[in-house]
Amino acid sequence: MPFGRLMSIAGSLVVASAVVAPIANAQDASLACGSFDLVGGDKATNILDNPPEGNSPGDVRIGYRELQDGDGNSVGEAYFVNTLLRVGEEDDHLFAGDIRILLPDGVVIGTLTFQRSNVIDQSTPALTVIVSGGSGAYEGASGTVEVGSGETPSFAFRLVCD
């Protein structure tokens, strides 16, 4: 993986957590707190294989996924950084990560843990994002985002805002 591409995605995470940019194709600009569902669209993931070579603690997955409404319109993006914490047997590699979800009204910030077979596995596992705050309409938010598994995973937002 080219270092420039890795830095580009890492830079996007910094920008995503600091600035709320309007989503160009957003059809529904009112994804406010409460319950709403989105679907995963296009995605890209890069792997940073830290020494020693192969699956080892400290390896990092960095990427993004487009988020769409039920009609297929782009309404947001999710940017994530996941670190391999423990190498286990087969499907027992433990990861922990951070996610920034850009929506038309602000950014949702969350943390997550999940298990998968290896660092380069590109499938989306079912997981729960614990929401720890945000910006814009999501400032002080709490709740969860339940992410379904598969090529077009569901994102079930259950948010409470002050």
Q: Yes or no: say if 96 and 83 are a contact pair by the CB < 8 Å rule.
A: yes
In this model, does residue 12 exceed pLDDT 90?
no
In this model, does residue 14 exceed pLDDT 80?
no
In this model, does residue 7 exceed pLDDT 60?
no
pLDDT at position 115: 86
Q: How far is CA 78 from CA 17, 51, 99, 139, 142, in A?
A: 11, 28, 7, 17, 17
Distance CA 109, CA 20 (A): 12
Write the pLDDT tens digit of every residue in 52-70. 998 899 999 999 999 999 9
Range of the domain at 69: 3-160
End-to-end CA distance of the chain: 42
Q: What is the CATH number of the domain that holds 28?
A: 2.40.480.10
Query: Looking at the whole model, is its pTM more than 0.75?
Result: yes
Task: Find which of 43-52, 86-95, 110-119 is predicted with most confidence, using mean pLDDT.
Answer: 43-52
When divided into structural domains, the chain yields a total of 1
Q: Yes or no: say if 89 and 115 are a contact pair by the CB < 8 Å rule.
A: no
Q: Yes or no: say if 69 and 27 are a contact pair by the CB < 8 Å rule.
A: yes
